[in-house]
Amino acid sequence: MAGVRGVRKARVRTGAGGGRVISGNEIRRSFLDYFASKGHQVVKSSSLVPHDDPTLLFTNAGMVQFKRVFMGQEKRPYRRATSVQKCLRAGGKHNDLENVGYTARHHTFFEMLGNFSFGDYFKREAIEMAWEYLTEVLRLPTERLWVSVHREDDEASRLWEELAGLPPSRIVRLGDEDNFWAMGDTGPCGPCSEIIIDQGEEVGCGRPTCGVGCDCDRFLELWNLVFMQYNREADGSMTPLPSPSIDTGMGLERIAAVLQGVKSNYDTDLFRGIISRIEEISGVRYGEDPKADISIRVIADHSRAVAFLVADGVLPSNEGRGYVLRRIIRRAARHSRTLGVEGGVLVPVISKVIEGMGEVYPELLEARKVIEEVSRREEERFASTLDYGLRLLTEEMEELRERGERVISGEVIFRLYDTYGFPVDLTEEVAREEGFSLDMEGFHREMEEQRRRGKESWRGGEVTPHYQRMAEEGITTTFVGYEKLQEKGKVLALIRDGERVKEAGEGEEVELITEITPFYAEAGGQVADRGVI
C-alpha cells in the first residue's frame, strides 16, 4: 500500500518494545492530520451536553454531533469529517460509572477519535484508510492485528483480505450482538467491523478457547468501523439507504496504552501527571496497594469528568445531568477518604487536568475559576455527610461480621440515606468492596413506608402559604453559589410570623427574601450555608 503523503510517520513503542513512545497529544494530532490529508474536514468536538437531542443525557460517541446529518435532516458544506470528541458514559443506557477504578480501561470521560462519511466513501475506503493509519502512520505490527465482521457481511470480509492482506483465519465473523449497529429502534443502521490487537498470551486467560470475543485482556478492540447501509422501519424491515455512510470510533486512551506499551489506560501519559498529583496529596504511591490503586484511578478519572462537565455548563443538582455530576464528585470524595485525605482532593487534581488539557480544550482555561469553585463547594458540603455515613456504615459491617452475616439490611440503608443523606450508590460500593450485599427489597419497602407516612401527615397542608403566594406572584431567588461567594442584590420581601411586612425593627427575627443569593439551601442531606447579609 502506498505511503501517506504530507503526514509524518511516528516511530512508536508498542507492547513488543522498540522505538520511542508517542504521546496522547501526538496521537490526536496525527489522527486529524492523516484524515485531513484524505480530504476530511476537521470538526471541533461538540459539548458533552448534546444539542437538540433529548434522547441522550450526554454525548457518548463522535457521531452524536452528526446525527442529523446521517439522518438527512441537516446539510453540511462537507461530506467527509474527522474529529476528536469529548465523551461521557455515566448515567443512562451507557453507564460505566460503577466499573471505573476496578478495571484497566473503564472511564466516565474519554476522547473518541473518529472519521465520518456522509454519503461519500463507503466500505472500501474506510477499511483502506483505517488499515493505513494503524500500520503505516502508527506502525502497529500487522501480524498482531485481527478484525471482526458481521457474519453475513461477505463484502467486508473480502475487502479485509484484499486491502490488508489478512488471512481468513484472522477475520472473525460474529452476530448482531457484536457486529451490527443501529442509531435507534428505527433509522440508519448497518453491520460494523472492529479492528483488534492481540496483546499476547501473557495477558490472556490461558483457556484453549481464548480468541476474539473472549472477555480477557488478550484481544483488545481498538477501532470500530460502522457501515450504515440500511434504514430500519418501524416493523423491523430494512431497506438499503440511497447514500450509505461511514461512522468510526477509536478511544484515544486505549490506543495510547497500546502504543506506549502499557497494559492499563491509567499508565499512559494521559493520566500520569494526574496520578502524580494524587500521590503528592495523599502520600500514597500508585502501584503498591491494589485497594489504594482503585481509589487513585477513580479520582484520576472523575477529576477529568468533573472539569469537562462544569466547563460545558453542567452544575450539581438532584436530577438529570446535574445529579450525575454530583454522584461523580461524591464518589471521588469517598475514595479520597480511602487514601487518608481528610481535606478536599478535587481542586488540586482538577488543576492538573486543566494544565494538561487546557491547550487542546481552551474551554477548561476559560472556565477554570468556576470549575474549581464548584468542585470545592460541592466536596465541602458533602464532607460531614460522608464522614458520618462512612463511620456508621463501618460500624454496621463490623457488627455483621461478628454475627457471621454478610447482608446490610434495608432499614440500615434507608437510615443512612434518609437521616444522614448518605447516597445508596456509595453504600453499595463500600459494601461491595468489603464483601457485603444489600437488602434492596427491604430498602424499597422502607421508602414506600416513608411515602405513605408523608402522604398521611402532609395532605397538602405543609406547604407554607406565604411561599406559595410569592411563587404565584413571580417572586423567586436566583442561586449563584457555584460561581460566587458574595453578591449584591435587592431585597424582595420581609416575612414575619408567616406574613409579609414592609419593615423590621432591631431585635426582630424575620425571613429575608432576596433576588439573588450565594447561600445553598438545606437539601439532599446537605446542611445549608451560613453567612452575613
pLDDT category at 92 given cuts 50, 70, 90 is low
133-137, 398-402, 518-522: least confidently modelled range: 518-522
CA distance 420 to 443: 15
Most confident of 431-440, 467-476, 522-531: 431-440
Q: Determine the Cα–Cα distance for residues 99 and 364; give it in Å rounded to an integer.
A: 26
CA distances from 235 to 186, 228, 231 (A): 9, 19, 11
Report the mean per-residue pLDDT for the chain.
87
pLDDT in the model for residue 461: 46
Which of these, 22, 33, 10, 88, lies nearest to 270 by C-alpha position?
22
The answer to whether residues 166 and 193 touch, using CB atoms and an 8 Å cutoff, is no
Mean pLDDT value across residues 167-174? 96
Residue 264: left (phi > 0), alpha (psi -120 to 50), or beta? beta
Among the residue ranges 230-239, 393-402, 479-488, the one predicted with the least confidence is 479-488
pLDDT classification of 6: cutoffs 50, 70, 90: very low
d(CA 236, CA 312): 37
Residue type, 303: S
Quick one: pLDDT at residue 520?
Answer: 57
Residue 4 has a pLDDT of: 43
Cα separation, 222 vs 138, whole angstroms = 13
| Mean pLDDT of all residues in 35-40 | 98
Question: What residue has cell string 513488543?
Answer: 16
DSSP code string of 271-336: HHHHHHHHHHHH---TTS-HHHHHHHHHHHHHHHHHHHHHHTT----SSHHHHHHHHHHHHHHHHH
Grid cell 500487522 is found at 142
pLDDT at site 353: 98
Residue 479 backbone phi and psi in degrees, to 5: -90, 125
| Span 467-486, average pLDDT | 60
Residue 457 pLDDT greater than 70, yes or no:
no
Give the highest mean pLDDT range of 315-319, 353-357, 473-477: 353-357
Q: Do 118 and 66 contact (CB within 8 A), yes or no?
A: yes
Please say whether the beta carbons of 51 and 90 come within 8 A: no
CB-based contacts of 443, cutoff 8 Å, min separation 6: 410, 413, 414, 417, 424
User: Among the listed ranges 16-25, 102-111, 264-273, 333-342, which one has the minimum average pLDDT value?
Assistant: 16-25
The rounded Cα 532 to chain-centroid distance in angstroms is 38
Phi, psi of 162 (to 5 degrees): -70, -50
Mean pLDDT lowest among 66-80, 196-210, 345-359: 196-210
Q: Is the pLDDT of residue 524 over 50?
A: no
Single-letter code of the amino acid located at 12:
V
Per the model's pLDDT, the better-predicted residue between 348 and 4 turns out to be 348
Segment 33-41 mean pLDDT: 98
Of the pLDDT bands very low, low, confident and very high (cuts 50, 70, 90), residue 481 is: low
Give 234 or 148, the one with higher predicted confidence.
Answer: 148
Q: pLDDT at position 53, please?
A: 82
Residues in a beta bridge with 171: 147
What is the distance between the alpha carbons of residues 176 and 378, in angstroms, rounded to a whole number?
Answer: 43
d(CA 413, CA 419): 10
Local confidence band at 454 (pLDDT 50, 70, 90 cut-offs): low
Say if residue 506's pLDDT is above 80. no
Residue 395 has pLDDT above 50, yes or no: yes
Beta-strand ranges (E) seen in 418-483 are: 437-438, 478-479
Instruction: Write the pLDDT tens digit of every residue in 260-291.
Output: 999 899 999 999 999 999 999 999 999 999 99
- Model pLDDT, residue 474: 64
Residue 55 φ/ψ region, left for φ over 0, alpha for ψ in the -120 to 50 degree band, beta for the rest: alpha
Rounded distance between C-alpha atoms, residue 431 and residue 429, angstroms: 5
pLDDT at residue 527 tops 70:
no
Q: Which three cell numbers stand for residue 280?
A: 503528592
DSSP string, 471-519: HHTT---EE-TTT-S-----EEEEEETTEEES---TT---EEEESEE-P
417: phi then psi, degrees, rounded to nearest 5: -75, -50
- Output 475 or 378, whichever has higher pLDDT: 378
